[in-house]
Amino acid sequence: MIHKTLYAPWRIQYILGPKPNSCVFCLPDHTDEDEDRFVLCRAQHCFVIMNIYPYSSGHIMVTPYRHVQHIVDLSVAELHEMMEYIQISAKVLEQAFRPHGINIGVNIGEAAGAGIREHLHVHLVPRWVGDHSFMAILDEVSVIPEHLRSTYAKLRPLFLNLQATR
């Protein structure tokens, strides 16, 4: 049996690094930090941000500004806008990456797999036939590699363009 290893060196920063004292999804009002924080676009009630520890290239999240833990805590306006930006995000991912599919999911609570359970966020993960099957790595693993900055540079203009045409 051949031993195969998948290297994801960017994850060591998260594993060993200091954890923030404040919520990583509670963003300041101003936009001068958006590129450093990998914020792709902002709307009235939510924003789209890249996952800096992605399962796949293009792994992004739609997040409400308001610090809520559960989907039932969202207002109707927040919920509607988040769904609108989930749809926009799916369009952008399809345009930028041409995935074979997209996983869209919400993990509510630790038992459901929420890594940051204090602030609701919706994951959009581009998928390709034969990819990493959500990290169930057994054999013949194929991961689409792309640096976060390259992904940001690819996605940001697409979001800006879609917002400009709305």
> Which residues form the catalytic set?
121
Distance between CA atoms of residues 42 and 122, nearest Å: 15
Distance between CA atoms of residues 99 and 139, nearest Å: 21
H/E element, 40: strand 39-42
**What phi-psi label fits residue 163: left (phi over 0), alpha (psi between -120 and 50 degrees) or beta?**
alpha
φ, ψ (nearest 5 deg) of residue 50: -75, 145
